[in-house]
Amino acid sequence: MNRAIAEKLSLAVLAAALVTTACGSSDDDSTPERLVLVAYDSFTPPDGAFDAFTAATGIDVEIALGGDAGEVVAKAGLTAGNPEGDVLWGVDNTLLSRAIDEKIFDPYVSDAHPLRDELLDTGSGVVTPVDFGDVCINIDDAALDALGLEPPTTLDDLIDPRYRDLLVVSNASTSSPGLAFLLATVVRYGENGWADYWRALVENGVLVVTGWSDAYYSAFSRYGGDRPLVLSYASSPPAEVLFADPPLPDDAPAPTSVMVDSCFRQVEFAGVLRGTDYVEAARTLVDYLVSDEFQRMLPESIFVYPSNETTELPESFRLHSPVVENPATMSSDVIAAGRPTWVEEWLAITS
Amino acid sequence: MGRGMARHHFVIGRRLPTIPGLLLVAVATLVPLVVLVVETVDDPRSVWSRPGVADAAWFSVWQGLLSTSLTVAIGLVPTWILARRRVRGRRFLLAVFTVPFVLPTVVVGAAFLAVLPTSLDRSLLAILTAHVFFNVSVVLRTVLPVWRAIDDDLLSAARTLGATPLGVARRVVWPLIRPAVWSASALVFVMSATSYGVVRVLGGSHWATIDVEVYRRAVVLGDLSGAATLAATQAVIVVVAMAAWSRRPIEMMRIESRPDRRPRRLGAEFVVWSLAALFAVPIVALVATSLRSVDGWTLDGWRVLFGLVESRLPEVRLADAVRNSLRFASVAAIVAVPCGVAIARVAVRSTARWAWVVADLPIGVSAVAVGLGIVVTYDVDPIDVRGSWWLIPIVHASVALPFVVRSVIPLLRSVPTGLSDAAATLGAGPWQRWRRVELPLMRPALATATAFSVAMSLGEFGATSFLTRRDSTTLPIVVEALLSRPGSLSVMTGSAAAVLLLVITSSLVVLVDRRAES
Amino acid sequence: MSLQIRDVSVRFDSQLVLDHESLDVSTGEIVAVIGPSGSGKTTLLRVIAGLLRPDGGRVLIDREDVTDWPTHRRRVGLVFQDNQLFPHLDVADNVAFGLRMNRRSRPEIDARVAEVLDAVGLADRSGQSVGTLSGGEAKRVALARTLAPMPRVVLLDEPFAGLDDELRTRLAHDVRETLKRSGVTAILVSHDPTDVKAVADRVHHLADGVSIQRMPVESIRPLRREVLRAGMENQSVDFEGDDEATTFHLAALDHAGRIVATSTWLARERAGSPGRVAYQLRGMATAVDFQSRGLGARLVVAGLDVLAERGVEIVWANARDAALAFYRRLGFTVEGEGFIEPVTRLPHHVVVRAVNR
C-alpha cells in the first residue's frame, strides 16, 4: 500500500515538473511565435489581414473573440495584469475611462503612422485610436418620398409634428448606438436642454426598442417595419449597397442616407495589455494596426473609418458615406462622469 | 478484509460514479462563481439599493409566476388532447411542441421579432410568449406520460359512481396528474425567472430579470461586485427552491407511444392542430425572412450560406462554424452523457438528494457570471486554459447536465433491476453485469441523453459568446453576427443560418424520440 | 329495480359484437351471462352502465328508458375485472366516493362506509392504502365501493378471474350473500360456467340472437351455393339423399330469420362399420360474416341431440383436411387414408364419432 502511494506521488511530482518547464514562460521581450489579439465578436478582418505583419516580423497573430465590446472590456478589467492576450482591439470612447481606471493597459500610443488630427490625444496617452465611426439617424429615402416628406436635416426636425411617429431608436442603457445618440443630444442641447428634447421626442412618437437589430430589421421601413427613420451608423448606407440582394453595382445610389446633424463620433482604440510577456512585440503589432496596409481593409470588413490620415476610403464609402465633418463628440472622462445620471434620467423619460 | 470492509467499499463504489458529474459542475459552474464572488464582491448589501436591481428581482419573480401560469394553462391543452384522444399526426404534433426547448434563444429571438407587431407593450408580450413557446415542452414531457397512464376504466368507474365529467376531472384525473404538474411548474418557473437570452433580446428597455441585470451591472456599468452578488444570490435561491420544491426528481420523459384505441374527436383535433400552427408561426416567419429580399423572393441567402455564391459577407464561413459546432457538441456529449447517466442512476436507486441538487445548479447560475468567473479562475500558470477550445464544450456539458439527468431518469426507472440480480446469481461479476446486462438495457437512455446534450450544445449562445474563443466560431454566433449587420443579404443569410440550426437541432430530438420508441 | 334489455346491438367497425340481444332481470334477481371470449359480455355490461352507446336497442331500468342517459345519472354500479380502485385514495375514501358524488353529509358517509366495509369483512382496513391489498381484498373493496351508494343495478365483470380456487369459492359465497342481503338486482358475466352456479339465480347464454332450427332443403340451398360451391356456378348444390324421409337439415338463423349456417344429416351406413346405425353429416357451411362464432359446433351439438333421440349409434363425415381440427375438437376421430373429393378437388379424410359418449 505505502509503496504504491509513494510511486504515484513521485510520478505526479515528475509530471508536474515536466509540465511547468514545458509551459514555462520565456524571458521578457524575446521574440514570441505568436501574439494574441483580443477583440469583440464582430471584429472580422478579411483572411490574410495579418500576413504582412507576419512576413515582416515572423510573428503569427491569433485573434481571440469573446462577446461584444462591453463584455471584452469587462473581462479585461477582471484580468488586468494577467490578461487573456497581448493586444486589445475595441475599447471605444464610452468605455475608455473605465478601462484606464482598471489599469488594463500598458500605456503606449503609436506614432509610427500619421493619424487624423481630430483623433490625436483622444487616447489619453494610454491607447492608440485605430478607427472611428459615427452613429447617425439613417433615412429610408424612398419611404419618405412616398410620404411626401423632405428628409429631416436637423435634430429639431425630429420633434416637428411633420415627422411624428417616424423615428425608431435603440435603448440607451444597453445598446451602444442608443447611448451614442443620447450623448449626441447632450452635446447639442447641453446639460439642461437634452431632457426636454427627449420629452419632445417622446411626445412626437419615438419608438424605443431593445437593440440595433430590432430597430433595423423589424421597425425600419426598409425591412418591412413602419418607421423610415432609424438610429444606425454612418457606414450603413454603403453596407446596404455592398450587401444588397439582388446585388447592386458599387456605384449604384444607396437606398438610405444619413442625417448628418444627428451624428455622434465613436472612436475605437487598441492598446497593449498590461501583464503581457511581449511588450515590445505587442507595440509593433499596435503600430501595424494603424498602418495603411491594415487600415485599408477596415471600411469594407468591419464598417468603420480608418484613423490613419493617409488611408483612402474605398469607392463605396466615398460615394455613399463620406466622413462626417462636425459630428458631436465627447471625451471619455466626461462620458464616464455623466453617463450614469443621464441614462437613469433617460430611462425615466422614455418608460 | 472483513465484512465491514467489503460493505464500506460497496457504499463508496455506489457513490463513485457521480463524482465525474459533480466535478463537471464544480469546474464549469460552481468554482468560477465562487472565485468571482471572492475576487469582486465588496459591500454586498448595498447592491439592493442600486437603481434597477430591486426592480429586476421583482420582475424575475412576478414575470416568472406569470410565465409559469400561462405555460401550464396553455401547455395542459395539448397534453390533455394527446393523452386522451386519438389524433392524426400525433408524432408530428409532439415534435412541434417539444422541439422548441432545445432551440437557441438567438434563433427564437429573431423569429419572434419577425412576427410580433411593433406596438408599445410588445416587449412584455414577447417575453411571455417566448417563455410559453420554450417551456410548453416541459409541461408536455412531464405530464403527458402520467396522464396517458391513467386507465380509461378508472375514469369509467368514477362515472358509474355518479361523477359528472367535471367531477371525474376534479376528483380523479387532477389528483393523479397533480404531482407531475407541480414538478413541471417548478422547473418552468425557475427557467422563466432566470431567463437571460429571451429577456435580453426581446426585453426592450424596461424589462430585466436578475440574469439580465447581472449582465448590465458587469458589462455596461462596470459594477462587478454587484453583478457577482446578484449571481450568487440567485444561484443559492434557485438551488434551495429546487431542492425544496421537488420531493421526487422531476422527470422529463421522451414521448412514448402505445397502440391507440381512444376515441377520435374532431373538435379536439382542431384545437390541438390550431395550437401547433400558432407554435409554428415564428418558425415559418423565420423561413420567410430567409427567403425575402427587399423586392421579392429569392434563394440567394441560402446560396450564400452554403457557399454556392460569392459574397462579401466575411462571417459566412459556414463550414468552419458547422464543424466547430459539431466538434463542441460531440465533446459536450461525451462529457455530459456519462456524468448525467451516472447521476441519474444514483437518483433512481437511492434518495440521495445532494447529487441531484448539485446537478441542478447550472440552471440557476447566470451565463455571464460563469463567463467572468472562468476568466478569473483558470488564469494561473500552468492551468491558464482561458481561450482553450475545450473549455467551451465543458461549459456546454454543464449547462446540459440537469436536463440530461431529467430525460434519462424515467428510462432508467423502467429498466428491471431484477435482471442484474439474476445475472449476479448466475455468477456475473459487477463489471460483467454492467457490460452485458445494464449497458444494453440503457441504450435508449444513452441515446436520449446524447441527443439532448448535442442539441443543447449546438444552440448554446450566452455562455459561448462570452468565453474567449481562438478561431472557433459556432453556428449561433454566426447567426448573431449576420443579424447585426445591415444589408438585405445579411439578414437573409443570417435567417437561413438560423433555420439551418433549427433543422439540425429539431431533427436530432425527433430522431431520438422515434428510435427510443421502437 | 328491474332491468330490461331490448334488441341491443353493438357494432365495432364491421364486427357485430352484440346482435339484437334481449334480457329481462327482475328486482333482486342475480343473473349470470355466459359466453365464450369475444361474445360481447363485457360490451353488454358497458351498454347497461352507459359507458357505450348501442347502435340499436333500448335499456330500461325500473321500466324507465335510460338508453340516452349519461352514466353518472343511471345509478348503475360496475365492479370492473381489474377493480380500478382509485390509487390516490385509501380504502375508506374509495368506498365513500359514490356517496360524496351524491353529496351526502359527512356523518352519513362515515356510517355507510363502515356498514359496507363490515358487510364485506374489511371493517378494520378503512385507512389502508389500496396498493397494499391482496387480490381478494381488493375485489371486496371494489364491491363495497359499488354497493355503498345503493345503486339500482350492480354489474360484475368477470369477478372471479385470476383468483385461486379456494378464494373463488369463498368469494362467490360472500358475493351472493352480500348481494342478496342488499336486495339489489345484479348481473355478472363470466366465461367460466362453473363459477357462476354458486352465485347466480339463473344463467343466460349470450346467444347473439341465433337459433337452431330444422329447415327444408330449398331454404339451405342458397347458403350451400354461396359457401360450398363458391366460384363453381355450374355445379349442382343438391346432395344425393337430400329429400329422403330420414334426412334432416339443421340451420342456424339470425334474429331476422336469415340462414347463416347449415348442416345436412342423412341416414347412411358407413363402410367400415357394417350393421351399425349411422348417419352422415354433410354440407356444413357458415356464412362469411358469422364465421368464427362457434355456430358450426352448435349445429353439430344440436344434430347429435337429434341423433341420440333417434337411437343412432354412429355419425361420420367426409371432412376437408382443413376442417379436421374442428372435428377433432368435437370428439371425432380420423380414419383411413385421405382422398381427393371429385367435385371440389380438395383433400379429404373420413371422420367418425359415436353419438353417445
Per-residue pLDDT band at A310 (split at 50, 70, 90): very high
With 80 as the cut, is the pLDDT of residue A6 above it?
no
C71 touching chain B per CB within 8 A: yes
Q: Over the stretch B399-451, which tens digit does the pLDDT of each residue have?
A: 999 888 888 877 777 666 677 677 777 777 777 777 777 778 778 778 888 88
B395 touching chain A per CB within 8 A: no
Answer yes or no: are the C-beta atoms of A287 and A128 closer than 8 Å: no
Give whichever of A152-161, B253-262, C238-247 has the largest mean pLDDT. Answer: A152-161
Q: Do chains C and A touch (3 or more CB pairs under 8 A)?
A: no
B162 vs C87, C88, C102: nearest CB = C102
- Tell me which chain B residues have a C-beta less than 8 angstroms from the C-beta of C61: none
Instruction: Over range B282-302, report the average pLDDT.
Output: 85
Answer yes or no: are the C-beta atoms of A304 and A286 closer than 8 Å: no
What CA–CA distance (Å, rounded) separates B373 from B262?
53
Output the average pLDDT for chain A.
87
Residue B477 half-sphere exposure, CB side, CA atoms within 13 Å? 29
Cell numbers found for residue A307 = 484613423
Torsion, Cα of C231, C232, C234, C237 (10° steps): -120
Q: What is the pLDDT of residue B255?
A: 45
Instruction: Over range C38-63, report the average pLDDT.
Output: 88
- Taking each continuous run of H as one helix and of E as one strand, the counts in chain C are 10, 16
B348 vs A21 pLDDT, higher one: B348
Per-residue pLDDT band at A7 (split at 50, 70, 90): low
Q: How far is C191 from chain B (nearest CA, A)?
A: 20
Q: What is the DSSP string of B222-253?
A: --HHHHHHHHHHHHHHHHHHHHHH-SS----P
With 60 as the cut, is the pLDDT of residue A168 above it?
yes
Answer yes or no: are the C-beta atoms of C35 and C41 closer than 8 Å: yes
Instruction: Over range B117-139, report the average pLDDT.
Output: 80
Q: How far is B348 from chain C (nearest CA, A)?
A: 21
Domain A134-264+323-350: assigned CATH number: 3.40.190.10
What CA–CA distance (Å, rounded) separates B21 from B354?
12
Nearest CA in chain C to B156: C51
Question: Which residue, among A238, A227, A222, has the nearest Cα to A301 in the 3D structure?
Answer: A238
Contact C80/B156, CB-based, under 8 Å?
A: yes
Among B454-463, B464-473, C178-187, which stretch is predicted with the lowest mean pLDDT? B464-473
The fourth-level CATH superfamily of domain B16-255+282-517 is MetI-like (1.10.3720.10)
Per-residue pLDDT band at B256 (split at 50, 70, 90): very low
C71 vs B154, B159, B172: nearest CB = B159
Which of the residues B160, B181, B264 would you substitute to probe the C interface, choosing the one with the greatest number of C C-beta atoms within 10 Å?
B160
Q: Which ipTM value was assigned to this complex?
A: 0.81
Domain range summary for chain B, segments of one domain joined by +: 16-255+282-517
Residue B168 half-sphere exposure, CB side, CA atoms within 13 Å? 18
A65 vs B201, B469, B491: nearest CB = B469
Instruction: Over range B249-276, report the average pLDDT.
Output: 65
Q: How far apart are the first and last CA of chain C?
A: 44
* Residue C335 φ then ψ, to 5°: -135, 140
What domains are there in chain C, each with its CATH number? 3-205 (3.40.50.300), 211-354 (3.40.630.30)
Domain with CATH 3.40.190.10 in chain A: 28-132+267-320, 134-264+323-350
Helix (H, G, I), strand (E, B) or coil at A60: strand
Q: What is the pLDDT of residue B426?
A: 78
With 80 as the cut, is the pLDDT of residue C19 above it?
no
Among B5-14, B336-345, C58-67, which stretch is predicted with the lowest mean pLDDT? B5-14
Task: Name the one residue in this structure whose C-alpha cell is 503569427.
Answer: A60
Domain A28-132+267-320: assigned CATH number: 3.40.190.10
Q: Over the stretch B77-97, which tens digit does the pLDDT of each residue have?
A: 999 998 888 888 888 888 888
Please give the distance of CA A32 from its chain centroid, rounded to a whole number. 28
Burial B490-503 (b: 16+ CB within 10 A, else e): bbbbbbbbbbbbbe
What CA–CA distance (Å, rounded) separates B33 from B158?
53
Answer yes or no: are the C-beta atoms of B371 and B35 closer than 8 Å: no
Answer yes or no: are the C-beta atoms of B186 and B245 closer than 8 Å: yes
Burial of B292 (0-12, 13-18, 19+ CB in 10 A): buried
Cell numbers found for residue C106 = 359527512
Q: What is the pLDDT of residue A4?
A: 57
Q: How far is C166 from chain B (nearest CA, A)?
A: 28
